[in-house]
Structure formats: C-alpha cells, structure tokens
Amino acid sequence: MADSFSRETLLSVVSQHIPDSPAALCFDPVRTGKHNASFWVTGDSGRYVLRIAPADDAGFLFYEYRMMRQEPDLHRLIRSETDIPVAPIVGYDFGRGAINRDYVLMRALPGIPLSDAHYLAPKARERVLMQVGEYLRQLHALTSREHLGRDAYGYLGAHRPMTPQSNWADAFSVMWNRLLDDVVACDVYSDAEARVFRDLYDTYRPVFCRPVEPSLLHMDVWAQNILVDSAGNVTGLVDFDRALWGDVEIEFAVLDYCSISEPAFWTGYDAERDTSPEARIRQRFYLLYEMQKYMPIEVWRRNDPARAQGYKASSFRLAMGLLDE
C-alpha cells in the first residue's frame, strides 16, 4: 500500500499542516501496522506520522468503515483527561480535498513497538505491562456519561457505525449480530451457521444484563501498538481507531488474546478481575467476538480463505463449549 502514494501526493497532504519546505521533508514507510498506510515524515519542524486510511472499497468490518474519523476527538479527550502518552494530532482531512482518502497527521512519539523490543529483559517487559495496566485503568475511567453527556454504549465515534444503545446488553447484541452479518457476507458462515451464534447470544443474554459503566475502551492493545524505550518504559499507546464505549471485560478478552493480560498488567491495573461463572461466559463471547472478526479480514483484505476457515473451526469449538455447559 505504501508504494501507491507518490512523493508529490504525500507532499500535498502534509504541506497543509506543517511549515516545512517541501525540499526538507522525507517520507519513509512505517513497517508495522496492517490496516492503514503509514509514513514517517521528517522535516525541520520535527518528526511526524502520517496515517492514510484504506480506500472505501477495501473491505471492512461494520465498525471499521471510516473509523479513523473518531481519532481526533479521542486523542484530544485522552490527552486532556489522562496521563496516557497519546500523540497530538496536528492535522487531518476527512473531506477528501488533497487525496481521496481519510488521513491524520500526528507528532511522532519516542520509542519503538514492543513487538520489536526483543532486547528487553523479563523484568523490563513486566514493567511495560504494569504501565499498560496503569494507563488502561485511566482510559477505562473515562465514561460516555461524563464526556459525551449521556449513558451510551457501542461504537459512538464520528464514523457512526451503529446506533448508540442505552445499555450494554443491547449494544453488544447489535455488535454481535452486525459482525455475524459480515462473516456471512464474506461467505465463511452460511445463514444457518450464523444462526447458531445468534441463538447462542439470545440464550446467554441474561448474563450480559447487569449494570455496566460505559467506559472508553481501546480494543486493539497488542505489542505493535505499545511503544517502549530501551529501559522498558511505555512511551506511547497508538491506534485508537477501533475504540468503543462499554464493558471493560471485552477489553480484557482482547488483552487475553494478545497475551497482554499477564500478572504484571493486573498489578498495574490495580483491580481484581471478575472470575465468576457468569464472567467466564461473557469472556468466551468476547473472545469469540475478537476471533470472528478475522474471517472477513482474511477473505476481504488478505485473500486467505484457508486461514479464515481456521478461524471458523476455532470459533465453532469455542461455541460448542458454551453449548455443552
């Protein structure tokens, strides 16, 4: 994707937002990240990251279409209300003026992705996870009630992928069924197979009907989205475009999937996880929500239907475990 943008195109984008002369600007592809086309932008005024969204016909999950549009508001909120190291956004354009894509330009944060920090000793890695826990606790303390002026749940950003719901059980029902629609649309589930999962949620819906704070959730915390320095300090959390407002337990399931929710994380988070039978059922649903998204991604964007079938088999095994209880 990076090769599809000429230097002239990139200059036309960034020159609207930074004062550097075109001759002074250098562009280098960012090798991490799989969704957007990203570039290091280096000039006299400093170092930036330019993120350009995929074309509108790239093939998206229901909540991914134009999801970059929620990042400016989220970055402003997080920077003003928390200590989380989040990059200042210096410019963006969703009106498709300079290029027929959405884009954001932000200051580059120091550090490298944790996925590249192979040199970190075990103690330093534990320090990273502890700091991630501290930062996510701050993030989860932000609620739609306080910052959006209402109790609302779901994907609530400017991209508007769903109607806000007044409780989490309804919001997750919408999310669950919309994702299943995507899996059917990419021809991995038949309608009958999707019905198994729709009925499964209806069966277990009572365990989701409980008071839930509408917390801000990152939903994509993994090693590539955690920046660290050489001493094992977190210097940045990136890629908030998949954020939603809802049950912190769904964030924990993503952390489970990405091997982040280790003991050091929980030390930093400073709260005990609910391990009740009801919470374990929700955990399985949330893990299924995370796993099933990869079927459309593998078919639509990675052209790997065989890998999608692997996710399908894993999802059915997990679902059958719920049916056996």
pLDDT in tens, 169-221: 999 999 999 999 999 999 999 999 999 999 999 999 999 999 999 999 999 99
pLDDT of residue 325: 63
pLDDT of residue 31: 84
pLDDT of residue 34: 76
Q: How confident is residue 1, by pLDDT bands cut at 50, 70 and 90?
A: very low
Domain 2-107 = CATH 3.30.70.980: no
pLDDT exceeds 80 at position 2: no
Roughly how many angstroms between the first and final C-alpha of the chain, as a whole number?
Answer: 45
Q: Delimit the domains of the chain by residue range.
A: 2-107, 112-323
Topology adopted by domain 112-323: Aminoglycoside 3'-phosphotransferase; Chain: A, domain 2 (3.90.1200)
Question: What percentage of the chain carries pLDDT values higher than 90?
Answer: 94
Say which amino acid occupies 225.
N
pLDDT of residue 3: 46
pLDDT exceeds 80 at position 323: no
